[in-house]
């Protein structure tokens, strides 16, 4: 049987079809996050939680592995032609330009100590560009999400969704800056420069720093050493909220292995401080 090919007569029709696809992908990602929350919360603060150590000496839990396996199983059923990249089980390659990027638990060290600042990160990239992201933090009772040209949103779990946007702070000296910790920063004094150039400094850490930028509660966030799974879900949310997210050198974050997020107004003031 010959497959019928859809023909578009205008750019607006093409964009509408693209948006419809993103909506379907977003609904899938949100559903995946719902199911991931059940798995991660089951063992959070549990005395039976098993913890192992990866080759880089960072912890991995049974919850990390079980959550990523669940997400992979869902994608294999719902999007069998798409590629998958996950922190725990690596890459599944296909001929597709669509790749799902998964971090089952971002903030595992917090998770194993009972600190509620951790999340499941689910992203979709097309041709290497993040176009959709979901950040689910059930222990904080929060979730954030965005899809290309659809805005950035958050909700306290069980409440109505609320659209979010970045701050309007124009001067770096009036800005609030958040990071995770001092580990991995270049020895050029970049962290010291950002701390001394901003009004307020806090280490909210991991995904939360960047989501606070998207919400307008923080104006600048930065982390020096990240994998694609740490960043891919964050970038669409920051950008759809009106912010800017790049690597420390100003290039694409996924290629640069670092992430600096700002309200956009401050980005050109921040980047030189990272290069000194």
Which of the 8 DSSP states describes residue 7?
A: -
Question: How is domain 172-275 classified at the CATH fold level?
Answer: D-Maltodextrin-Binding Protein; domain 2 (3.40.190)
Q: What pLDDT does residue 15 have?
A: 44
Query: Per mean pLDDT, which range of 101-105, 148-152, 272-276 is the poorest?
Result: 272-276
Query: Of 113-117, 155-159, 175-179, which one has max mean pLDDT?
Result: 175-179
Q: What pLDDT does residue 25 have?
A: 95
> Which comes out higher in pLDDT, residue 114 or 176?
176
> Which comes out higher in pLDDT, residue 18 or 90?
90
Q: What pLDDT does residue 58 have?
A: 55
| Domain 11-151 bears CATH identifier 1.20.140.10 | no
Distance CA 6, CA 196 (A): 56
Q: What percent of the chain has pLDDT over 90?
A: 76
Segment 212-235 shows an average pLDDT of 97
Q: What pLDDT does residue 4 have?
A: 40
89-105 confidence digits (pLDDT tens): 988 888 899 999 999 99
Q: What pLDDT does residue 105 have?
A: 96
What is the domain partition of the chain in residue ranges?
11-151, 172-275
Residues of the chain by 3-state class (helix, strand, coil), percent to 5: 40, 25, 35
The average confidence (pLDDT) of the chain is 89
> Which comes out higher in pLDDT, residue 20 or 252?
252
């Amino acid at each position: 049987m010959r497959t019928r090919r859809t023909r578009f007569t205008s750019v607006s029709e093409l964009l509408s079809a693209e948006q419809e696809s993103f909506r379907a992908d977003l609904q899938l990602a949100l559903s995946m996050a719902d199911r991931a929350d059940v798995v991660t919360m089951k063992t959070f603060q549990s005395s039976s939680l098993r913890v192992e150590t990866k080759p880089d000496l960072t912890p991995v839990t049974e919850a990390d592995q079980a959550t990523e396996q669940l997400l992979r199983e869902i994608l294999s059923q719902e999007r069998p032609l798409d590629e998958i990249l996950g922190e725990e089980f690596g890459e599944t390659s296909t001929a597709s330009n669509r790749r799902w990027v998964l971090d089952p638990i971002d903030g595992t060290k917090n998770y194993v100590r009972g600190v509620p600042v951790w999340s499941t990160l689910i992203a979709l990239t097309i041709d290497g560009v993040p176009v959709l992201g979901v950040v689910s933090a059930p222990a904080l009772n929060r979730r954030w999400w965005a899809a290309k040209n659809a805005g950035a949103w958050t909700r306290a779990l069980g409440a109505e969704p609320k659209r979010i946007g970045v701050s309007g702070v124009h001067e770096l000296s009036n800005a609030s800056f958040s990071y995770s910790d001092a580990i991995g920063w270049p020895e050029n004094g970049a962290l010291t420069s950002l701390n001394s150039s901003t009004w307020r400094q806090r280490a909210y850490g991991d995904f939360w720093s960047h989501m606070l930028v998207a919400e307008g509660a923080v104006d600048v966030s930065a982390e020096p050493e990240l994998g694609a799974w740490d960043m891919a879900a964050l970038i669409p949310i920051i950008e759809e909220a009106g912010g800017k997210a790049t690597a420390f050198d100003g290039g694409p974050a996924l290629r640069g292995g670092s992430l600096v997020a700002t309200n956009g107004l401050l980005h050109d003031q921040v980047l030189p401080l990272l290069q000194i």
